[in-house]
Chains A and B, each alone.
Chain A
């Protein structure tokens, strides 16, 4: 059995029919995980015997939960009782969680088997997953490239068949960016839908917990457990998108996108149109929204880590330390302005949806996976900051709290490109149905050679 060829939904069906047992499935993914770990470093911790013991335990549960026997890994800032809880920081080496986060508890109750702890950017504060304490996670499509972050290990683990789903966190794009760069599906739900209790914060006003999986259906199945809503997100997945109004940003939005990415995006929109969707041009102050997200994130992250900075600023990696120090010096007026602007922009976004828009579409990232260590990217003749570019299309939706999914939509130079679909608040089902319709029209997405 090749776990790379198995979706969560297919594995679930085989497990429920008794054609596959949780111990057999977990054994298959552990074989994969141990070989992938050497090359791509998806995990910060891997304890095969613990996973085997959990698999034997869930195999005996009766009645079994909706995700019984499904191997899942959690980003190592989501508490899992008895497991390491480093948050990607050396200063937390040796820390183990004394209880489950609420999302962990819900998944455990649903019968999942936890496999290892997924790699991440230090304290989730970065989008490249280059971690000075533990080394980088690597992109399964090209190990010299970043897998994206901060939930990079989660995306690598899913893309390489080490697990069938993962949980990440997303404050500026940290689920969707690695999902796009690794060629898997990642969802940031509506702000507040999924509980954050037991999840180490980065910027509480923008933090979201979300699933990554190989298909939209896989992500929807996990979301149903996280949100405690059986059937809500899978019921409409097979429906068509005839008449769906899809908004596409215009104007200056595209000045920051690479040409290859734009070509794949336009092809994706045309594919949606051929399924009956209607394209609508949308005007919105994206630059202001992205700036407001940046201000809120930087100030709140510095507040979250102020005690750590006071204890020992040098215990942080250089990139994270720099951002935390800068956050301390952003004037309070900028932060308050950003919070006020957030409400203004939320009202404008609401007006867009009330005006008839169903879904908004953008590329997930304006550029392809950068090479490890690449701090700037040349775009249309100008060198730009790679980290800021990677979140430019995702962080407005953290600011606005809207549900957004990234679905693989093609390859450029052998690297995946993501299509981001954004919906009105609480309408994850619409976003996922649109993503699923796109997947069907697109056909199977290739897997990396690992």
Chain B
């Protein structure tokens, strides 16, 4: 997401999901920017072909459903 697109992107997400935010309310663009920046850390660890499945623990380690 480009920096200059953030306000528009945020407004679009909010409105497309049917949230009636009054126009005079400031959108939390700075918070979105900070969160997306923080989420870059997700890319610092290679994901080992994992599927996005729920995590449950068992006696033998992380539970993996048969796939």
Chain A positions near chain B (C-beta within 8 angstroms): 190-192, 205, 285, 287-288, 290-292, 294-295, 298, 306, 309-310, 313-314, 322-323, 325-326, 328-331, 334-347, 350, 354, 385, 388, 400-401, 425-426
Contact = CB atoms under 8 A, between A and B. Distances in A.
B62 A291 contact: no
Q: Which of A190, A205, A295, A343 has its CB near the most chain B CB atoms (within 10 A)?
A: A343
B57 A190 contact: yes
A287 B41 contact: yes
Q: Which of A313, A335, A341, A385 has its CB near the most chain B CB atoms (within 10 A)?
A: A341
A388 B35 CA distance: 10
A12 to B, nearest CB: 31
A291 B51 CA distance: 18
Q: SS class of chain A's interface: helix, strand, loop or mixed?
A: helix
B47 A341 contact: yes
Interface of B: 1, 9-10, 13-14, 17-22, 25, 27-28, 31-32, 34-36, 38-48, 50-57, 59, 61-62, 64
B50 A288 contact: no
A322 B47 contact: no
Q: SS class of chain B's interface: helix, strand, loop or mixed?
A: loop
Given A287-B44, A337-B47, A310 B18 contact: yes
Nearest to B33: A326
Contact of A325 (B27, B36, B41, B47): B27
A294 B50 contact: no
B42 A191 contact: no
Q: Which of A314, A335, A346 has its CB near the most chain B CB atoms (within 10 A)?
A: A346
A426 B52 contact: no
A192 B56 contact: yes
